[in-house]
Structure 1
Amino acid sequence: MTQEPVVLTQAADGVQTITLNRPDKLNALNFALTEGLVAALKAADADEAVRAVIVTGAGRGFCAGADTREFVVLTPDNQELVDRRAALTTELQGLVKHMSKPVIAAVNGYAMGGGSGLAISCDLALASESARFGYPEVKHGIVAAIVMAGLVEHVGRKAAFELVATGRTVDATEALKLGLVNRVVPDDELLAEAEELALALAAHPQNAMQATKKIFHQVAELPFSEGLKLGQQLNAQMRAFRQKEQVA
């Protein structure tokens, strides 16, 4: 019996859809799925035909976070394996920022721990009405360590600490208020909305879209005055963008 791949990809009209495909495990992130996601995102970014990316989950959940069944081997006795897993998780959580293409999370159902971190690491996030977000690690005697930086960046210190310290789950409406997602849509319209948004982004002149994403993430990590100077530099380069599009 042939086993289905843990990551599915589908491309149409410049949009690459990447689907986490462990529905029976609520798309929990084991080594194989995490490695597959990293590879699929990198491949989409390298593909000149791809201009926007959607990440979603198969079945009734976006991603339940780390696959706890692997914890039995992730022990101090296997430090090399522990380090490799931590590095892989870190790479996945930070990868979207370094991609040139815009990435949209279409969050269906539960997005917990690393799954929530993956969703908010995307440039844009749409949530179905049934979506649920949370960082329950503390309840299991562990720490939401790698995903914490992204959470603090998106919702601020007070809200972020409450989420990681209580481990409580928030619904889609509260996630929107907190700034975890851009909008909430009916469950049966989630993918259509994500595709419509991705197509709109893909339709923009590519140089401008990619430069917008690059400078956005750079400015977000700079003091205001330095961000302003960076914007001034890019402003001068934009004239070349228009010329290239006109020639094309």
Structure 2
Amino acid sequence: MTATTGENRAGTGAQSEQVLLVEDRDAVRVLTLNRPHKRNALNTALTRALNDALTTADRDPGVRAVVLTGNGRGFCAGADLSEFSALTPDNPEAVLERADLTARLQTRMQRMGVPVVAAVRGAAVGGGAGLAIGADMTVAGTDLKLGYPELRHSIVPALVMTGLQRQLGRKLAFEMISTGRLLTAAEAAEQGLVNRVVEPDEVVPAAMEVARQWAAVEPRAIRAAKDLFYRVADLPTEAAMRAGQDVNALMRGFRR
């Protein structure tokens, strides 16, 4: 199945824009950010379309894994700054709606039962960096440039800071946020932000290899494993062990 979703809502009479491509490859759903002329910057339409597509994939029993990638030579340039002129204190409802939508998207992949692997090449900055490291696994191209340059534009990277703090040491995380330093693929791998580094044209095939491995696993088992993995990260040791005991008993029914 190949489908498209999303539209450009930038103004009256704006032409329709297929901002997200959706394709099923057997039990793997491939979601492709499709604004290459904007380096796949996250406008409201794309943010909403991706959030909806991830939710739909998680609810589809035929989908066992998701690959997230970007069309063109860059993964995602972060927020589309051209929308910021309308997101001002004079328009509080729009500001709050966009913040809520962005916050839900940045945490959506880890709250899914279906595992997600990001296939990332080129620029992954701001919200795009948040998506890249917010996936369960990440395959990066050798041309990766990952970081948070928002302060250069007098913007605080508020909604991506939590994910960065939880996946990176504080000193380097603060350096990236405060100076806009971009990590190379090798540096991102060294810091544990990406799982594999391949040539740029190989990021999707390599991510598909990971996704197909997931798709071959009993879906109830991988959902339970993923849920437990993220739950125990935020629990004291004793509570985490009790949660593990519960899943240990539950998994007896997963065996084929």
Q: In 2, Cα distance between the equivalents of 1:135 and 1:178?
A: 16
Aligned-residue RMSD, C-alpha = 1.2
Q: Are 1:179 and 2:168 counterparts?
A: no
Q: Which residue of 2 aligns with 1:121?
A: 134
User: How far has the Cα of 1:4 moved from its partner?
Assistant: 4.3
Q: Does 1:133 align with 2:133?
A: no
| Equivalent-residue separation in structure 1 for 2:165 and 2:26 (angstroms) | 35
Deviates most, 70-79 or 154-163:
154-163
Query: Structure 1, residues 179-206: CA drift from partner, whole Å, max 9, x if none?
Result: 2111111112111111111000100111
Partner letter of residue 146 of structure 2?
Answer: F
Runs of 4+ in 1 over 3 A off after TM superposition: 1-4
Equivalences, count: 243
Unaligned runs of at least 5 residues, structure 2: 1-13
1:147 and 2:151 are equivalent in the alignment? no
Structure 1 residues not aligned, in runs of 5+: none
What's the offset of the Cα at 1:160? 1.0
Alpha-carbon shift at residue 16 of structure 1 (Å): 0.1
Determine if the alignment matches structure 1 residue 83 to structure 2 residue 79.
Answer: no
Tell me which residue corresponds to 1:37. Answer: 50
Structure with greater proportional helix content: 1
Identify the residue that residue 15 of structure 1 maps to in structure 2: 28
SS of residue paired to 1:62: coil
Fraction of identical pairs, as percent? 51
Contact in 2 for aligned 1:66/1:114 (Cα 8 Å): yes
Candidates 241, 244, 247, aligned match of 1:228: 241
| Secondary structure at the counterpart of residue 9 of structure 1 | strand
The offset of 1:156, in angstroms, is 2.3
TM-score (norm 2): 0.92
Q: 2:125 aligns with which of 86, 108, 112?
A: 112
- Match of 2:60, as an amino acid? D
The equivalent position to 1:208 in structure 2, one of 210, 218, 221, is: 221
- Does the 8 Å CA contact 1:28/1:64 hold for their aligned counterparts? yes
Q: Residue 87 of structure 2 corresponds to which residue in structure 1?
A: 74
Letter in 2 for 1:39: D
Moved more, 143-152 or 220-229: 220-229
